[in-house]
Structure 1
């Protein structure tokens, strides 16, 4: 993979403020506090049926709920774990708005609902917000602005083959990822260019440094298919196992459908080897699919079958 580096948020340590609430520990601590204040209560609290013991259990439960609420509030304020409107609030701090992928039209037949950018892509753009402030035309700045140009952009790359010449490569969200001309034109306008990219618009671009000549081009997409035969263990249903394997493979290939991301045999084997699988025969692809910074791999089909049961 040759894509630029971003901090892997999944590896960010859990803050110390997030604790694992335990009812028994909290209940015992409350009893110890009360007995410390009034030792005579020790005998009463030894009986779980006593009203005082029940009251302390209620207090302990309420404290557990409060600790859980604090944990949730902490996670909601962390870029690594915030979702939904909590993530929108974090994005607002950096002036990065969630993109609209599909506009709402309730008058259409059938009605069209609004579709917004998913959390994963939005979180990535928030991470890159400070790169967007760079006025020197860095690679990451160009990528940030390309990703922000349209909700139809799934991924982007920027390179400079020669001084003052920038090539921005776009991978679309629809189909195999090859962007149509409408999307390329939208990105070009975002960088202050005409729809075909041949001329610079009169109005100076707010995101393209003056003096840079920008070319917006389509990504190179390599299509492939995944075909595998599973040998399963006795007991589990073959349909259930193949369904689980297909879901895992779909998640893997979707994650690898980005610029510069390789599709590896080891990754496919890991996805295919679900619970109940004895062995995997991977028929296609036959080798790792290596992608450079302007290439993306697209899986056009998945075929998984059961070849037998290991006795």
Structure 2
């Protein structure tokens, strides 16, 4: 079962797109209709010095602030948008509690997994949520069954130690998973360190004529940051992904030399970027 991704949902209809000028037009039209009904000739609304226009602008601004506050209240009640204490209160409904110093995005993921894993059985999302909740040192965890047996393996990637989960971290996760309120009685669970394969990357880079020469030197760090944010357990390292991430503003062309083909990553394994060798080939139009 895949994790729910709120980013794929359409924008909430309850959150209004604010437009100061549109609000002002509505207020001025209302004022005009009231003047007309009272038989008052009013035709100076286009003047910036018109007192009615000045008051209408102030009213439009205050109305926009009020509508923005309504938008904020809606966001505070949506898991995809809630932040800080609002997220804490929302997550508590699903029995999810923030770990000390845990950031919003990680906590949001755990809450989504908790929602998806609410079942009388020990589902993959539930076990993954429990593993992530064991420690902030858990960067990610993959849950999968071995063959058709009742044995389940939980492969853990560490947020430190170059991704390798040590014995202490594995013990923390195992203790959380083996809790009687978590583990299904017929599940045999083994918590292991995820196998990390180190893959070197090499590419040739051509820049646009006006691009800064320092751009190529900055690309390796940017590539590693993108991989840290988007990669993970079971995430294939494709040449297309590398090409897309290296095509930063100012880059005209990229030729991927290594890896020679897509690196397919199995459950319980992850890829770490090894050497990133980017060769500046010159400038092209």
Normalising by structure 2, what TM-score? 0.89
Between the aligned partners of 1:118 and 1:283, the Cα distance in structure 2 is 37
Question: Structure 1 117/289 Cα, relative in aligned 2: closer, same or farther at 3 Å?
Answer: farther
1:17 pairs with 14, 17, 23, which one? Answer: 14
Q: Please tell me whether residue 263 in structure 1 is matched to residue 260 in structure 2.
A: no
1:191 paired residue number: 177
1:169 pairs with 141, 145, 155, which one? Answer: 155
1:275 paired residue number: 249
Question: Structure 1 226/77 Cα, relative in aligned 2: closer, same or farther at 3 Å?
Answer: farther
1:111 paired residue number: none
Question: Structure 1 85/263 Cα, relative in aligned 2: closer, same or farther at 3 Å?
Answer: farther
| Deviation at residue 131 of structure 1 after TM alignment | 4.5
Q: Mind listing any 5+ residue stretches in structure 1 that lack a counterpart?
A: 101-115, 193-203
1:112-151 CA deviation, whole Å, 9 max, x = no partner? xxxx223322211111113444342222222222222222
CA contact (8 A) 2:3 2:116 kept: no
SS of residue in 2 equivalent to 1:128: helix
Matches within 5 A, 1:142-291: 142-161=127-146, 162-192=148-178, 205-240=180-215, 242-243=217-218, 245-246=219-220, 248-291=222-265
1:118 pairs with 103, 120, 125, which one? Answer: 103
Question: Structure 1 131/18 Cα, relative in aligned 2: closer, same or farther at 3 Å?
Answer: closer
Q: Please tell me whether residue 293 in structure 1 is matched to residue 279 in structure 2.
A: no
Question: Structure 1 83/279 Cα, relative in aligned 2: closer, same or farther at 3 Å?
Answer: same
CA contact (8 A) 2:76 2:82 kept: yes
Between the aligned partners of 2:41 and 2:272, the Cα distance in structure 1 is 69
Between the aligned partners of 1:129 and 1:41, the Cα distance in structure 2 is 64
CA contact (8 A) 1:157 1:170 kept: yes
SS of residue in 2 equivalent to 1:127: helix
Kindly report the root-mean-square deviation, in angstroms, between the aligned alpha carbons of the 2 structures: 2.1
2:57 paired residue number: 57
Between the aligned partners of 2:149 and 2:254, the Cα distance in structure 1 is 50
2:86 paired residue number: 86
| Deviation at residue 212 of structure 1 after TM alignment | 2.7
Between the aligned partners of 2:7 and 2:22, the Cα distance in structure 1 is 30
SS of residue in 1 equivalent to 2:214: helix
- Which is further off, 124-133 or 149-158? 124-133
Q: Mind listing any 5+ residue stretches in structure 2 that lack a counterpart?
A: none
The alignment covers a number of residue pairs equal to: 281
1:69-100 CA deviation, whole Å, 9 max, x = no partner? 32233223221222333322322221211223
